[in-house]
Structure formats: structure tokens, C-alpha cells
């Protein structure tokens, strides 16, 4: 447990756990449905495995999460307790404030892998064709190893691939990372970005027309930027 604030104020006591670096992002991933260690880490990619393990232990000690064995595989999963679930409104409140008032996106914030990983839970699979659909993303300004990603959708299950999946994509989406990040945040309208050529689509005309309806965007995208 980290050093306390020397106050019995509930805000101070809660801050002992929740204001530790990465902690709110870890809780956010748990609220978003991630339960396995590797999935949580993909949602918080800059944290080391060692530190993530420590943070999860802290959350378990604070009775915000509980660890359960997943079958006989020796793999553990992490689930929110009632105390952890109660943090949902707090996380959403912080996110809403950040959408309105936090600083603008900077180059060092742009992680294409995290962006695509976030998209996987926010695809409108009901609007997508039945069977398998492959979406390829090419980020023109990313490092070579972070330039291409694929979303594979099959029977409403979505997977992220960082290597060519072996089948031709149904649609290729090409853009700078910042453009797709602003679209994801709701800062830039996706249809305008496509019309302006900032996002380029390659595929059957019907698929390209449907693509904007496939992305549900961030849960905070509807909140108007105020800064």
C-alpha cells in the first residue's frame, strides 16, 4: 500500500488507492469488460507487467476487485466487486470532464495499437454483414511496426490482429493516427474526414458507404469539447 495522506477524510482514504499512477486506467479497462491480465495490459500498454501485477494486488487488497481461477488452466481473471462497480459513475465523470476540458491530443499520446484495441469493443456488429468481415487499418504516420492493424469480426466476435491475417480485407482504412484519434474522440466528424480525404477507404462501394455506421466511437464522443 502506498503512503497515506495522514487524514481520515474519505477523499484522502480513497485517493490512497485511486490516485496511484495507472490505477484509474486499470479500473476503466475492468469496467470495459477486460478480465484477463494480458487484455488489461493491452488496454494500458505503457505499464510494465510487474507494475500492473502490483496495481492489481493493491485493488484486490482494497476489495475493489477479486481474482478467480479460470477453469483448470492456471489462468486467473479479475472481476470488480460491488465496491469496484460503484466506481463506474466516477470514471465516467472524470472522462466527461476530460473530454470537455483536458489538454489537446499531442503526438506522444498517439498509440495506434491502443486505438484499435479500443475500437474492438465499440463496433456496431449488428450493422455489419453476416459471417466474417476484415477491416484493415493503415496509419500513414506511425512507426513501421505500428502501421498496420486488422479487426476480424466473425459472428459478432471481434479480434485484433497485428499481423496479416491471411485473407484479403473487406475494407482498407488509411489515415494518420491523429485523424482517426480525433474521429474516435468525436472531435472530428468521420464523414467529413472521409469527404476531405483525411481518411481514405478502399473496398466495395457498399462496404465503404456502410463503414461510418460500423464505428460506435468512444463512449464520450457525444460530449462537446469546451476547451
Per DSSP, the residues of 125-146 read GGGSPSSEEEEEEEETTS-GGG
How many separate domains does the chain show? 2
Residue finishing a domain among 101, 120, 138? 101
**What's the confidence (pLDDT) of residue 3?**
76
**Which residue in 20, 50, 24 sits closest to 37, CA to CA?**
50
**What's the confidence (pLDDT) of residue 52?**
98
Can you give the CATH number for the domain in which 91 is found? 1.10.10.10
For the chain, the residue count is 227
155 confidence band (pLDDT: 50, 70, 90): confident
Q: Judge if 47 and 127 occupy the same domain.
A: no
Determine the straight-line distance between the first and last CA of the chain, rounded to whole angstroms. 36
Q: Judge if 96 and 143 occupy the same domain.
A: no
206 confidence band (pLDDT: 50, 70, 90): very high
Domain containing 21 equals 10-101
Q: Judge if 40 and 97 occupy the same domain.
A: yes
**What's the confidence (pLDDT) of residue 88?**
98
16 confidence band (pLDDT: 50, 70, 90): very high
pLDDT tens track for 46-71: 999 999 999 999 999 999 999 999 87
DSSP letter assigned to residue 163:
S
**What's the confidence (pLDDT) of residue 2?**
59
**What's the confidence (pLDDT) of residue 4?**
87
Average pLDDT over residues 11-19: 95
DSSP string, the chain: -----S---HHHHHHHHHTSTTHHHHHHHHHTT--BHHHHHHHSTTS-HHHHHHHHHHHHHTTSEEEEEETTTTEEEEEE-HHHHTTHHHHHHHHHHHHHHSPPP-GGG--HHHHHHHHGGGB-GGGSPSSEEEEEEEETTS-GGGSEEEEEEETTEEEEESS--SS--SEEEEE-HHHHHHHHHTSS-HHHHHHTTSSEEEE-HHHHHHHHHHB---TTTTSPP--
Residue 1 has pLDDT above 70, yes or no: no
What's the CA dihedral at 32, 33, 37, 41 to 10 degrees? -30
Residue finishing a domain among 75, 101, 127? 101
Residue finishing a domain among 49, 73, 101? 101
Residue 33 CB: number of other CB atoms within 10 A? 9
CB 117 within 8 A of CB 42: yes
Residue 192 has pLDDT above 70, yes or no: yes
Residue 20 has pLDDT above 60, yes or no: yes
**What's the confidence (pLDDT) of residue 96?**
98
Amino acid at each position: 500500500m502506498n503512503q497515506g495522506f495522514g487524514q481520515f477524510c474519505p477523499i484522502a482514504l480513497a485517493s490512497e488507492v485511486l490516485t496511484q499512477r495507472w490505477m484509474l486506467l486499470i479500473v476503466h479497462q475492468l469496467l470495459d469488460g477486460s478480465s484477463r491480465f494480458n487484455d488489461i495490459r493491452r488496454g494500458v500498454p505503457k505499464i510494465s507487467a510487474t507494475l500492473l501485477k502490483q496495481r492489481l494486488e493493491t485493488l484486490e487488497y482494497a476489495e475493489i476487485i477479486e481474482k478467480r481461477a479460470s477453469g483448470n488452466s492456471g489462468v486467473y481473471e479479475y472481476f470488480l466487486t460491488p465496491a469496484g462497480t460503484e466506481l463506474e459513475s466516477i470514471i465516467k465523470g472524470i472522462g466527461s470532464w476530460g473530454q470537455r476540458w483536458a489538454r489537446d491530443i499531442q503526438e506522444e499520446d498517439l498509440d495506434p495499437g491502443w486505438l484499435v484495441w479500443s475500437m474492438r469493443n465499440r463496433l456496431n456488429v449488428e450493422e455489419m454483414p453476416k459471417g466474417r468481415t476484415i477491416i484493415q487499418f493503415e496509419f500513414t504516420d506511425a512507426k513501421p511496426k505500428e502501421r498496420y492493424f486488422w479487426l476480424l469480426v466473425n459472428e459478432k466476435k471481434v479480434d485484433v490482429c497485428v499481423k496479416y491475417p491471411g485473407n484479403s480485407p473487406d475494407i482498407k482504412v488509411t489515415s494518420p493516427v491523429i485523424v482517426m484519434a480525433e474521429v474516435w474522440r468525436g472531435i472530428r466528424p468521420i464523414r467529413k474526414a472521409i469527404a476531405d480525404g483525411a481518411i481514405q477507404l478502399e473496398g466495395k462501394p457498399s462496404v465503404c458507404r456502410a463503414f461510418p455506421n460500423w464505428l460506435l466511437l468512444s463512449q464520450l464522443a457525444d460530449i462537446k469539447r469546451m476547451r
